[in-house]
Structure 1
Amino acid sequence: MDAQVDEDVIARAKGPTTLRQVLVAVIFLVIVAAVAFGGSIASTGNVDGWYADAEKVPWDPPNAVFGPVWTALYALIALAGFLIWRPGFRMGGPNAARSTLSLFVLQLVLNALWTPVFFAGYPVFGEAAWWIAAVIIIALIVVVIALAVSSAKWSRVASLIMVPYLLWLCFASTLNIGIIVLN
């Protein structure tokens, strides 16, 4: 019995195997890429449609800026998820960082909702879609702040990754609210 306990302690101390880490990293990348892909599908026809004709705030960047910025942010978001998961890993048990990972999942869900609601929602629901999108992005900002604070326990780098993401979300919220005010 004592030998089994010692083996469990040693297994936990070692952390996840390299193979498991690679698989989990790929899973984080695939999930985040799916969120990004869904957003691009929802915005593609609308960026050159109603959004091109909408009145925008003076600080609205050219459309070409959004793709590279979001690509970098999505890669960082996937990395942050992995960096939170890894130190919370427990062999044969639930991840010790599961509450922080729950915040990670919640921010992904809110992130995945915003683009379809804002871009694809407008042709269907009109201006109400912009208001709903504004509520979503404000909720997303709140969750990302909570995630940054919570993730600091597991990974300082993951926590710091939330800073550029948070700054971009705050900037994007001004664009969302600007559409509401100006149109």
Structure 2
Amino acid sequence: MQTHNFSNVSSPLTVQVISKYQELSRQSAKLSNIREAVKAWNRATPGDAQNYISQLVAKEWMATGGRGLLLAGSVHGTKVNFFRMINTPGPKYDKYLEMLTPVIVAVMTRDNERVAREFGLVTGKTHGQRIADSIKESSDVHQAAALGAPVPVLCKEISESIVAKIHLVGIESFSMIMAQVTMMLGAA
């Protein structure tokens, strides 16, 4: 007969999990997230992505009244200066990137919403989700009317449908929509 020694090693491993942002302050982690998002945006954009992205950001920066940061000038100079901010962490470039963050988020959201959502820069519903909400609310109105719902229930469903449609085009369009509805009701 053979003897086997068996040692029960069932203690958990004591390997410490280290986050890539563990040593960073909250602001530095936010800037690292912006840097990673811009790099992903760069990879997702076909063609001469760096020129394209830096020009979009520079135009938006100038349109919002931004000054300095050496983003005005030649296409090459703008690209070099912008991507120096992205690729070189440090107090000077962190300060510049902090100033540019709202512009980067706005431009990235318009140009590549998927990347902006992936890095948590954009929250809320996507355009497709807003369309689906609008369709659902419209069908709720039709269903309530077909089933002979009381007027208060029907009014509630209609108002929810209107709100869903306003969210579809943006709340800033509300006054224009109401002006057109008022004109249509006046003509009827």
With structure 1 as the length reference, what TM-score do the two structures score?
0.30
Instruction: Name the one with the larger helix percent.
Output: 1
Larger radius of gyration: 2
Instruction: Name the structure, 1 or 2, with higher relative contact order (CA <8 Å, separation 6+).
Output: 1
With structure 2 as the length reference, what TM-score do the two structures score?
0.30
